[in-house]
Amino acid sequence: MALLDDESEKYLKECIKNNKEPDRTKLIGMTREDILNYFYDCQIFKFNKDKWVTDFIADNYKGQRLNFDLVDAKKNKIVAKSGDKLTQRSIKSLLENNLESIEIKEDELDR
């Protein structure tokens, strides 16, 4: 059986609850994008005024050494330099300074 979308799962639960045979034509599988999102975490990048912007997800950078400057997208300011290692303390400091989104250069998207 295919992976069902949310609507189909609700329909099946309702049929089971009412002890009713489900109409198989009402069952719809997930799209390819839904399947990928189900199994993998995804990060959304938006193109905004000639630069790529994404949310700063602290867990993605914890313990990592940066290979690019970390730029606050709202303030357009470098908050960590290339080569810096992001420790728990440095990430906490970034979050306390309201870092929400970062700029990503196009060549970094390929990595």
- For the stretch 37-68, pLDDT in tens is 888 888 889 997 788 999 999 998 999 999 99
For 55-110, write each residue's pLDDT tens digit. 999 998 999 999 999 999 999 999 999 999 999 999 999 999 999 999 988 877 77
CA distance 99 to 38: 27
104 has which bridge partners? 52
CA distance 109 to 89: 26
| Ranges of each domain in the chain | 6-39, 45-109
- Put simply, whether the predicted model's pTM sits higher than 0.85 gets the answer no
Check if the beta carbon of residue 83 is closer than 8 Å to that of residue 66: yes
CATH number of 45-109: 3.90.105
Check if the beta carbon of residue 69 is closer than 8 Å to that of residue 82: yes
